[in-house]
Amino acid sequence: MPTPSTQNHFFARSVSVFISAILISFLSACATVTHDKPALHTSLEQWTSTETIEQLHQRLLNNEFSVTDLTEFYIHQIETKNPQLSSVILINPDALTIAKQLDQELTQGKIRSKLHGMPILLKDNIETQDMPTTAGSFALKDNHTRRDATITKDLRTAGAVILGKANLSEWANIRSERSSSGWSAIGGQTRNPHDPSRTPCGSSSGSGASVAANMAIAAIGTETNGSITCPAAVNGVVGVKPTVGLASRFGIVPISHTQDTAGPMTKFVADAALILQHMSSADELDSATSARVFDRSVNLVPTTKPLDQFKLGMFHSSATNHEQVKALEQQLIEWLEQQQVSLVKDLKTSPYSGFWNDTYQVLLFELKHDLNQYLGGLPNQYNALTLEKLIEFNENNKAIEMPYFQQEIFEKAQQKDDLDSQEYQTALKKIREETRNTLQSMINENKLDALTAITRGPAWKIDRVNGDNANGGVSTYSAVSGYPHITIPLGKVHGLPIGVSIMGLPHQEAKLFEVAQALESLIQQQSMLSKNDSE
C-alpha cells in the first residue's frame, strides 16, 4: 500500500504520464495548425474570460480558432495553474483526440450544438469511459468503469470535450464531520484562486476553483446540500443545483437519492442554462428523471427581461451576521428598489425542533443504502466493495486516507438499518414537509417569481486540523426539498467573492434563469458604474 510520502508522488506521476501522452498528440498536431500560437493564446485568454459559450461558438464557426486550439489552451492553463490550486486530478488523455475529431466534423459541416468543441471538466465522482472515477479516494484509485455517466454521454453527444476530472472533497464531503473542504487523498487540497490560503468550499471544490481560474470553459459539480452552490459562491462563479431528477444521476457516486443532483458551474448564467439543457434527459436508469414529470421541451436559455417584471422575496441568510456581507445585501436591495422591483423582505424559516438532526439521520440511512448499491453495481473488481469495507480500507491506510480527519460519518452510517426503518421513513417525511411547505408558502402566498438571499459568507481559512469553519448559508431548504437553486456572483468582501442565490419551486429552472440573468446584468452594470466612479 502507498505510504504517507507517496501521495504527492502518485499525483505528480499520474499527471506526468498523461501530460506526456498529450504532448505527443500536441506535437503531431502542430504541422496542421496555422494560427500564430502566442497571439492566439493571448486572444483566447481574453475571449474565454469575458465571453459566453455562444459568443465563443460563433468565433469557432468563424475559424478564429479551432477546437484543438481551445483544448490545447486549456491544457496549458491546467499545467500552469494546477500546481498551486490542485483543482484538477487528471487531464483526459483523449482530450486532443476528441478535439481533432470535432474539428473534422466542423470541416464536414457537422455542428452538434453550441457546446461543440467546448472543454468541460467533470467532478471526479462522475463516471467517464476514458478515465478512472475515484471520488478522491485511493480505495477507488483504478476504478475504470469503461462507461459514461448519463450526463457525460449527453455532454459528449452535444459536442463537449471532456477535458478531465476535477478535484473534490473526498467522497463528496460525507466521510467526516471535521473535514477540510476540497481535500482528497488523491488530489490533495484544492485552493481558492482568489486567495490560495482560503477554502474553495465543497464538495465540488475543483469544479468551482477551475472555472474561477479559467482552467475550463465550465465544469460539472454535484450537490447533496450546498456542494455546488457554496463552491460557486466563494469562488465567484455561477452554480446551478437543478430540481432533483432533471439530470440523471446514473454513473455518479451517490450519497442521497432524495437530494443528489449534478449541475453546471460557469462564468455566465446563459452558459449554465445552455449546459443544463444538454444535461437534461429522461433515463430509464434513474427513475427520478421520468419524462412524465419533466417537460424537457422547455428552453432553459433565458431571454432578456427587465427586472421590474419580477416579484422577488429576500430570504434571510445567516451570512449577513458579517457586517460587510450585510452591507452588500443592503446595496443589492437598493439596486433592486431603484429598478422598481417589487420586493418582499425579511422572509425567514422556522424549522421545527429536531429538524437539523433529522436531515443528518436521513443522509446517514441513504448513504449506506445508496453507496452499497452503487459499489455493488460497478462493472469491475470494485463491485466487491461495501461501506463496511471502505471503513476497513481507510483504517488500514490511515497515513494516506486519514492524515487530517477521520471517518465518523461513514461509521455512523454503517450502523443504520435499511430504508424501511420507521426512523428513516418518519424523518424523511418530516423534513420534506418542512422544506417543501415552507418554500411553497413563501413563494405562493407572496406571489413571488423567486426567492433571493446571500448564498454564503466569505471563504474561510483552510484548516486541516480543526476542519471547516463555515459561516452561514441558505442551501438546506432547496437541497432537502429537491427544489432548484442558482447562485451568481454579487460582489466581494475583503477581495473574497460573495454570491446571491435565486431559489424557486420545482421545474421552474427557466424562470429562475431569467431572474438570474436579469440580476447578473444589473450587478455587472452597477459594478461598472462603481469602477468608473472610482477612476
227, 280, 281, 478: the active-site residue: 227
Catalytic-role residue among 203, 280, 475, 481 = 203
Q: Which positions ≥6 away from 407 have C-beta within 8 Å? A: 175, 176, 391, 394
Among 211, 292, 277, 202, CA closest to 247: 277
Residues 453 and 347: their CA atoms lie apart, in Å, by: 10
In sequence order, which residues have a C-beta less than 8 Å from that of residue 445 and are 6 or more positions away?
none
Q: Which of 411, 367, 156 has the alpha carbon at shortest distance from 253? A: 367
Q: What are phi and psi of 415, to 5 degrees?
A: -80, -5
**Cell numbers for 121:** 471538466
Q: How many CB atoms lie within 10 A of CB 132?
A: 19
Considering 123, 165, 267, 368, which one is annotated as catalytic? 123
**Residue located via cell numbers 464536414:** 108
Return the C-alpha cell found at 116.
461543440
Distant-in-sequence, close-in-space partners of 426: CB < 8 Å, separation ≥ 6: none
The phi, psi pair for 174, rounded to 5°, reads -120, 25
Which residues does 320 contact at the CB level (< 8 Å), separation at least 6? 326, 329, 454, 472
User: How far is the C-alpha of 15 from the C-alpha of 50, rounded, in Å?
Assistant: 29
- Asked if residue 454 lies in contact with residue 500, where contact means CB atoms within 8 angstroms, the answer is yes
Q: On the CB side of 33, how many CA atoms lie within 13 Å of its CA?
A: 22
For residues 419 and 366, give the distance between their C-alpha atoms in angstroms, rounded to a whole number. 7
**CA 201/CA 267 separation, integer angstroms:** 17
Whether 387 contacts 416, CB under 8 Å? no
Cβ atoms 215, 78 nearer than 8 A:
yes
The residues, ordered by sequence, that sit 6+ positions from 526 with a Cβ below 8 Å of its Cβ are 335
Query: Do 474 and 450 touch, CB atoms closer than 8 A?
Result: no
Please, are residues 166 and 88 in contact by the beta-carbon 8 Å criterion?
Answer: yes
* Residue in 239, 247, 225 with CA at minimum distance from that of residue 367: 225
| Share of the chain residues as helix, strand and coil, in percent rounded to the nearest 5 | 45, 15, 40
CA distance 191 to 505: 33
Cα distance between residue 102 and residue 306, in whole Å? 37
Q: Examine the residue annotation and report whether 203 is marked as an active-site residue of this protein.
A: yes
Q: Which residues are catalytic?
A: 123, 203, 227
